[in-house]
Amino acid sequence: MADGAVIENLSTRKLLGILAALGLAQAAFFAVGAFFAPVPSSSMDFEMVKCADQTKGAAGHWFHLRPPRCDLIESLATYTPSSFDLREIVFIAQMPHARNNLQLEYSPWFQFLLGLVHVEVEYSDVFKYVPGAKLMLEVRMGVRTRESAPDAWEEYADVNVTRTLDCTIDPSKKSEGNFYTCDTLDLFELGSNNYPFYLLNVRIPIDTEACRRDPVATPNCQIGKINELHVVAIHQNGGFTAVWLWLKTLLCPIVIAACYWFNRRLSLLPRPRLLLEKAILALGMVLVLLDAPLEWLSLVARLPCLLLLSDLRQGLFYTVLFSFWLIFAGEHLIDDPQLNNLSAYRINLSLVAVASLALLVYDMAERGMQLADPFYSVWSSEWGATVAYISIYVALACTLAYFVFLFYKIVVVWNSIRRKRAAHLYRTSENRRLKFLMLFTLLCSALTIAAYFMRQFGEASLHGDSADDSILTHSTSAFFTGTFGMWNIYVLLLIAMYAPSHKQYQGAHGLIDENEDLMSGEERGTESNPLTTFLKPAQD
């Protein structure tokens, strides 16, 4: 622990006052999410309308519903294409919906737009579905501003998308008119939402000659009888974005001021900074980066990189926070001869580094590539899926090993506190404050882990078959705002508690070995504090 820190000189009355204020602040963060923020995300379902295009895309026209430009196909079962190449059938989705003759709009407040596609496959004895069939879609995405004409669509992307179609059917339902149960597929993901209107034109091309030569390797040869395509569009709610941004805008300058104050206090000390002090300052600086309300820029400019940038900021904060917990626990083991030495934590910190690097590789492979192609998915290729699985499993293994070691470290610290208290080497007030910080650290780590896995599980659910059942589309706003507030409270508390107390230790000039200090205290009959290395007043 830092010698001469505020925590050593804080009276019990002041500590209780601080705890009461922090408890009220924490309750306020939960209340904001519970009463003022809507659910984090919402979705819209679109049954894609089918249009006939005799030119098979050669004319380059856009097909849309509002205003109508579509030779409508009522049902694929009654439609007879001119050839086996189904490119003359165009599936369209115009987003968002019109409701009560009013055209809805997407807003930059929605932050991101995730598109999923569900393929409805009908059982057929003629057009048989083969498990693991490759589905290729020719997709054009158009965008339109509010000022543009209703039919003036600007091309945003024109790509071929290949996905693996995984479907199952009960053996008792293998008859005409029954349908397979197919997994939902990722279609696109936009890192910002700067257009009010989007249009999808999707075709399913079939190369009959290639299908005869190699039906397994050629896409769309074994997909069965396609009946319908459905698109699910998921976006972040604007109300949740507003609450989140205002929280960041409020907290960011407070944390900046606290870091400046803490750094200034450290710079006035006539000694080198301790490892724990450096770790607290580093944690405060990454919290400033996390709190920075950069999302305000997305409301006035198109920033497709914002979603990736948010992930990188979040990942950096987790990395520094997990590293800090190891240092925080280790620096309170006063019998450890490796105190104030970063190299003593190299093995433990390597777990954090490897896990962070693995997740960075996955994030760059997924969202990094989506900056150039919003329809890209790392899971769409065998090589990409292998990289993704390796990254996730390595990160998971390192994270589990880290938390086992962190729990062990905190238990050792707790036992050390009990031994020192039994030996009357701790003052009662110091023992109480240190126990409080350790308990708060355990609470913070538990909620951080829960928030991390809730977010990861929620995002995975958004990409799965149960997007509407994802925790991100339910009332979890209070948990996320509460956890975000707790991080800020925790870091501000550390800064306040471990800031040098110059009122009592002005003129201190050196570090004295704690055993020597304990002996000199006994010789003079004064109370000493062996919890930390102690700064003695300068002698005349």
Tell me, what CATH number does 284's domain have? 1.20.1070
| Side-chain half-sphere exposure of 244, counting CA atoms within 13 A | 26
Q: Look up residue 108 and give its DSSP letter.
A: G
- Do 365 and 443 share a domain, yes or no? yes
> Residue type for 505, please?
Y
Q: CA–CA separation, 116 vs 41, rounded Å?
A: 14
Q: Name the domain boundary from 236, 256, 285.
A: 236
Rounded mean pLDDT of 121-131?
A: 89
Contact 436, 23 (CB under 8 A): no
> Residue type for 454, please?
M
Confidence label for 354 from pLDDT (cuts 50, 70 and 90): confident
- Do 484 and 508 share a domain, yes or no? yes
Q: Name the domain boundary from 203, 219, 236.
A: 236
Q: Which is more confidently placed, 509 or 127?
A: 127
Q: Look up residue 291 and give its DSSP letter.
A: H
- Do 457 and 322 share a domain, yes or no? yes
Cis peptide before 215 (omega within 30 of 0): no
- Do 437 and 391 share a domain, yes or no? yes
Task: Evaluate if residue 524 carries a pLDDT over 60.
Answer: no
Total tally of structural domains belonging to the chain: 2
Q: Which is more confidently placed, 120 or 460?
A: 120
> Does 540 map to a domain?
no
Confidence label for 10 from pLDDT (cuts 50, 70 and 90): low
Task: Evaluate if residue 149 carries a pLDDT over 60.
Answer: yes
The predicted-structure confidence for 378-410, as pLDDT tens digits, reads as follows: 777 777 777 777 877 787 787 777 778 777 877
> Does 135 map to a domain?
yes
The predicted-structure confidence for 94-114, as pLDDT tens digits, reads as follows: 999 888 878 899 999 998 899
> Does 393 map to a domain?
yes
What's the pLDDT score for residue 329? Answer: 79
- Do 461 and 370 share a domain, yes or no? yes
Task: Evaluate if residue 116 carries a pLDDT over 70.
Answer: yes
- Do 341 and 468 share a domain, yes or no? yes
Beta strand spans in 181-224 (E)? 181-182, 185-190, 197-203
- Do 437 and 400 share a domain, yes or no? yes
- Do 374 and 225 share a domain, yes or no? no
Q: CA–CA separation, 387 vs 174, rounded Å?
A: 37
Rounded mean pLDDT of 4-11?
A: 60
> Does 1 map to a domain?
no
Confidence label for 260 from pLDDT (cuts 50, 70 and 90): very high
Cis peptide before 537 (omega within 30 of 0): no
Residue from 88, 68, 183 nearest 131 by CA:
183
pTM score of the predicted model: 0.79
- Do 129 and 275 share a domain, yes or no? no
The predicted-structure confidence for 177-196, as pLDDT tens digits, reads as follows: 899 999 888 899 898 888 99
Q: Kindly list the distances between the CA atom of residue 292 and the CA atoms of 232, 310, 452, 477, 526, in Å, as whole numbers in the listed order.
A: 31, 10, 20, 20, 48
- Do 214 and 319 share a domain, yes or no? no
Confidence label for 41 from pLDDT (cuts 50, 70 and 90): confident
> Residue type for 233, please?
A
Contact 165, 133 (CB under 8 A): yes
- Do 115 and 46 share a domain, yes or no? yes
> Does 469 map to a domain?
yes
- Do 394 and 262 share a domain, yes or no? yes
Q: Domain range for residue 134? A: 42-236
What's the pLDDT score for residue 270? Answer: 84
> Does 163 map to a domain?
yes
Q: Is 159 left (phi over 0), alpha (psi -120 to 50) or beta?
A: beta
Cis peptide before 270 (omega within 30 of 0): no
> Does 292 map to a domain?
yes
